[in-house]
Structure 1
Amino acid sequence: MDMVHGCAIWRGSRVHDDCKLKFMELKAKRTHRFVVYKIEEKQKQVIVEKLGEPAQTYDDFIAHLPAEECRYAVYDFDYLTEDNVPKSRIFFIAWSPDTAKVRSKMIYASSKDRFKRELDGIQVELQATDPTEVGLDVFKSRAN
């Protein structure tokens, strides 16, 4: 099966290079602020749905998490330590809003650990069911 721009995750399939490549670009080259991943159920693969430019903000990122659909996302969070030293942390977000379909929530939940393992360099994981669980204050508190 040809899986251009996707990452297969069901039934022992491999994770496609494009998903890992975009993550590595975020991690090593900082060419993306965030990556939003979507599971395409019919093709049984994860695709890169949205890439955030380095200048995009937290608000831009949150705007790409749909209110009624699940997603995986990676966010490069910049912050200052108590000593005013600039740092960053790479967050993995498992977005599963309460209003999403039960089948979708089950697929995302059962695939999450396997998919996350393919993204080497995740520093913090967040599981969120509503916007307050991915609030900027949550990022700040989990970054340290």
Structure 2
Amino acid sequence: MANAASGMAVHDDCKLKFLELKAKRTYRFIVYKIEEKQKQVVVEKLGEPTDSFENFSASLPENECRYAIYDFDFVTDENCQKSKIVFIAWSPDSSKVRSKMIYASSKDRFKRELDGIQIELQATDPTEMGLDVIRSRSN
């Protein structure tokens, strides 16, 4: 079903991979890309469970928008191991205006397809989505 605002459909694989990350922890992260010609959101890259945050950051293009899911593991002050699913709307200042508009107008509809997101970040550069930012939003 296409999004009325931007006309973008969400490929079934997007939801499937998200469910695998959420339920089975099959991936550390997922990077999603909007394929304008096909008018749909597709999976661009999957991160192995052993991949680091640096691997994740490096997989986001410098000059193009993306959506990303990151499975953030942390230890609470009470020494409990926890995990939060972080949604990142990556929209670097250097990306094209049209791309920023398409990603912005499709974001809410896309997010609704992924049930279980616990933290949402909007980032225009890597400092806005660093581990310290995610950690501060996890408590």
Which TM-score band applies after superposition, normalised by the shorter structure? over 0.9
Deviations 1:45-98 (A, max 9, x none): 111000000000100000011110000000000000001110000000000000
User: Which residue number in structure 1 is paired with residue 96 of structure 2?
Assistant: 101
Greater shift, 68-77 or 10-19, is seen at 10-19
TM-score (normalizing by structure 2): 0.94
Kindly state the Cα deviation for residue 9 of structure 1 after the two structures are TM-superposed: 4.0
1:68 is the counterpart of 2:79: no
| Offset, 1:136 | 1.1
Which position in structure 2 is the counterpart of 1:84? 79
Q: Which residue of 2 aligns with 1:4?
A: none
How big is the alpha-carbon RMSD for the aligned residues of Structure 1 and Structure 2? 1.3
Would you identify which runs of 4 or more consecutive aligned residues in structure 1 move more than 4 Å? none
Structure 2 unaligned blocks of 5 or more: none
Please report the TM-score for the alignment, with normalisation by the length of structure 1.
Answer: 0.91
Report the counterpart of residue 135 of structure 1 in structure 2.
130
Contact 1:9 1:111 in 2 (8 A): no
1:32 counterpart (17, 24, 27): 27
Question: What amino acid is the match of 1:41?
Answer: E
Residues 9 and 46 of structure 1 are in contact (CA less than 8 Å); yes or no, is this contact kept in structure 2?
no
